[in-house]
Amino acid sequence: MSSKLTIPDLSGKAVLITGASSGIGAALAYGFAAQGALVGLHYNSGTEAAHAIARDIEAAGGSVVLAQADAASSEEMVAAVDKVAKTFGRLDGLINNAGSMIARVAYEEMTDEHYDRVMDVNARSVISTSRAALPYLKKEGGFIINTTSIAARTGGSAGAGIYGSSKAFVGAVTKGMAVEFARYNIRVNAVAPGVIITPFQDRYALPGQLDQVAASVPLRRTGTPEDCLGTYLFLASATLSGYITGQTIDVNGGQLMP
């Protein structure tokens, strides 16, 4: 819960983090709370984990509000945004981190149903949640950070092609929003994690894949959620990144160097 680095302009800012009950999202919830930010902690099925994180944040003196919603439902995400913004009386930042592979399905075997499920949670949710947050972010200017993936650049591993494509969509949306929202002094950027050890990898990694990655990347290991935290904090801080928008920062240990 402690942070060695203090970023003064994040203190008191209200930030909604989607998909924050585990993995990178959970690390972000703890990390932004440690900076004194007011944390909107969105979750869907991870009720017990989300409440545990909220208790930890509050025990450390932080402020957090829980918002349960299905990221694939635009209506539910609008309600989640409104709940966080109205509880804190403001919303300064949005981190679109919720996402899922759903299952590994080859393009040759893909159904419309699978396509819709992947695209709804990974792609459409970014648009609907950002659109809901925009009226609040416009008041003082702010930031949006989207979580994409190394799969957006590689096309994804076996059976993860549509997941990679959905994340490539997010990368393009990031650029388009950056252009449109600049007039409101809202910066929009993205983070592209590589292979980060989270419950996502526990669920979807292929046999031996994690060991292969660890052996092949220049830094000789897979990543952790905490490895990603600093990049999000950097992009959230206008002091540190106030002239950066429309960019994607890769956090992958050198696995891919675009």
Catalytic machinery residues:
163
Do the beta carbons of residue 122 and residue 103 sit within 8 Å?
no
Reference 236, options 4, 2, 38; nearest CA is 38
Do the beta carbons of residue 210 and residue 153 sit within 8 Å?
no
Q: Which residues of 228-239 are buried (b: 16+ CB within 10 A; e: fewer)?
A: bbebbbbbbbbe
Q: Report the DSSP beta bridge partners of residue 15.
A: 39, 93
Do the beta carbons of residue 50 and residue 65 sit within 8 Å?
no
Cα Rg for the chain, rounded, in angstroms? 17
